[in-house]
Amino acid sequence: MTLKEIADELVAGCREERTRENLDKLYAPDAVSVEAMDMGGGRETVGLAGIHGKHDWWDGAFVTHGLTVEGPFLHGDDRFAVIFGMDTTEKATGRRSQGREVAVYHVKDGRIVREEFFYGG
């Protein structure tokens, strides 16, 4: 897949609730996911199984009431960014909040090899 095809499919998958399916389709087995801050398990997760685990944690910890997805924004032939807006409730506390983040995806050999998340202040 080309960079644009990967970017378009990632965005479409997020909008159409196919995120899990796209992990196996779009990510390299040794992909790295980097958070802006430590959420309790370190900032960096290595490997597709670990990235699936991050999604399991999110689904267990939050209720997502709404998600907006802007982009993709292509950069050269190996990166793209997406802006996410989220309306969530933390299950443990019942606290509802809205937030935005920028995700930068690095692509090599037709697969996402690294994702980095940047949170709004």
Its pTM stands at 0.94
Res. 43: pLDDT tops 80: yes
Domain of residue 87 covers 3-119
Identify the CATH number of the domain in which residue 112 sits: 3.10.450.50
| pLDDT value of residue 25 | 97
> What secondary structure letter does DSSP report for 40?
S
> How many separate domains does the chain show?
1
Tell me the pLDDT tens digit for each residue of 48-106.
999 999 999 999 999 999 999 999 999 999 999 999 999 999 999 999 999 999 999 99
Report the distance separating Cα 103 and Cα 55, nearest Å.
15
Report the distance separating Cα 51 and Cα 33, nearest Å.
7
